[in-house]
Amino acid sequence: MPAADSFDALIIGAGQAGTPLAYALAEAGRRVGFIESDHLGGSCINYGCAPTKALLASAQRAHHVRTAGELGIGAMEPVVDFAAVIARMHLLRQHSRDSLHRKLTEDREGITVIRGRARFTAPHTLRVVLAEGGGEQLLTAPLIFINTGTKAAVPDLPGLLESGYLTSDSLLLNLTEQPEHLIIMGGSYIGVEFGQMFRRLGSRVTIVDTKPRLMAREDPDVSHPLEECLVEAGVELVLGATARRVSRAADGHLTLTVDTKDGERRLRGSHLLVAVGREPNTADLGLEHTGITLDKKGYIEVNEHLQTGTRGVYALGDVKGGPQFTHISYDDYRIVRDALLHGSKRTTEGRDMPYVVFTEPQLGRIGLSKNQAKEKGIPYRVSRLPARTIGRAVQTGETEGFVEVLVGEDDRLLGAAVFCEQGGEIMTMFQLAMAGKLRYQDLQDMILAHPTWAEVLNNAFQRLKPGE
């Protein structure tokens, strides 16, 4: 083994925290070693946000054609060319990969991209098994950033491995044929997004979950309208069900056997998507050679500065646990960048946790829900405005859903749940109001252009009443 190559910083994993950190450190004059064992871009570019939303766009367009008659536009039933839909998704993803590779290898000085799998041999030393040409390379640095992300969790279910299955990762990387009947295990945001998407693309869809309702972390009066939306679209829901086994028949069809409150059910489909959660990529990092500790689920434990138990070693993004969103990973990068390069003391404590479920309508969430406010003993008032009362919704025909806001005793916003067209964008406006500590009266009396979705900020508070 040759002598170790020395860098100012080593980054393991080219995800949404590691990549911009490499840019920032290199621009500050640091010599950066950037290690990636698979595709550049992490989960977002390869099997997360970008490819999923590309497929969603095709599904939404098909739905708009299918429902054009509601607005007086005659249209035939859309013909979904599934191969073309998948090809478009792959093309957009490859464009992102190529752009990222170019930025890392051609447009920036000070970054050395190393393709291979890294493992700690000491607190600040990595051994990388190189992906091309074989061999190994030793690397050292006083700063090391772990950004290895997560992978789809797979349950220990009899017959699953033998029968074959998809995860959100493998589906977006390898699926070529349109499922005739897609069975989805898991009713969280991945399950509901994929469920509506494939139903609109023409597949029969069944969603199975152990919980009695979808999106079980949401308040019931938030998740139930989403369930109704999916059922109306033709998605079958099998809730409060425990999977027992999977089998595959000679004709290629799968059978998922589940126990429900009404007894055993056998669900027969062409494809099975396992969407029951994620697990961290920490198993083969050699962390036993460091002072880094893991929680009971295998995620790296960090403090509010994203520091691990080994001085100079940080964990960023999904691998550290907590909410697994691209925007949270990117904020991890900003916290570390500002601490190392600008002397900032900002931490992960108290930061916003917005998210959007990209069904149609979208579900945008920020701040406290009603249940969370009750659990924390925080007094609140709540107003819930049906989307059908929003002028823009009536004009466009997008009248499903609601806008719900929580207001504290000081008249400032505590949170919002927005389940309607443009739900993510409307939620973000409420987030900005929260960041600016505006009182709800400031929004109620603000002059907003008519007719826009933003006008809901004027009207959202007109039904305020004490929380129960």
**Residues designated as active site:** 450
Closest to 328 in 3D by CA, of 307, 306, 313: 306
- Asked whether residue 164 is marked as a ligand-binding residue, the answer is no
Question: Distance between CA atoms of 12 and 34, rounded to whole angstroms?
Answer: 6
- Asked whether residue 397 is marked as a ligand-binding residue, the answer is no
For 382, what's the count of Cα atoms within 13 Å in the CB-facing half-sphere? 19
- Asked whether residue 191 is marked as a ligand-binding residue, the answer is yes
- Asked whether residue 445 is marked as a ligand-binding residue, the answer is no
- Asked whether residue 366 is marked as a ligand-binding residue, the answer is no
Tokens 């290898």 locate to 105
Question: Distance between CA atoms of 111 and 113, rounded to whole angstroms?
Answer: 6
- Asked whether residue 374 is marked as a ligand-binding residue, the answer is no
Residue 76 CB burial class (10 angstroms; 0-12, 13-18, ≥19): exposed
* Length of the chain as a residue count: 468
Q: Name the token pair of 69.
A: 């008659």
- Asked whether residue 234 is marked as a ligand-binding residue, the answer is no
- Asked whether residue 188 is marked as a ligand-binding residue, the answer is yes
Secondary element (H or E) of residue 33: strand 32-36
- Asked whether residue 187 is marked as a ligand-binding residue, the answer is yes
Residue 74 CB burial class (10 angstroms; 0-12, 13-18, ≥19): exposed
139 CA to centre of own chain: 32
- Asked whether residue 35 is marked as a ligand-binding residue, the answer is no
Question: Distance between CA atoms of 231 and 256, rounded to whole angstroms?
Answer: 20
Secondary element (H or E) of residue 86: helix 82-105
Question: Distance between CA atoms of 367 and 430, rounded to whole angstroms?
Answer: 10
Cis peptide before 2 (omega within 30 of 0): no
372 CA to centre of own chain: 21
- Asked whether residue 190 is marked as a ligand-binding residue, the answer is yes
Encoded amino acid at 22, one letter = A
Closest to 273 in 3D by CA, of 192, 216, 202, 218: 192
E strands of 39-135, at which residues? Answer: 111-122, 125-130
Q: What are phi and psi of 54, to 5 degrees?
A: -65, -45
As annotated, the binding site for NAD(+) includes 186-193, 277
As annotated, the binding site includes 53, 186-193, 277, 318
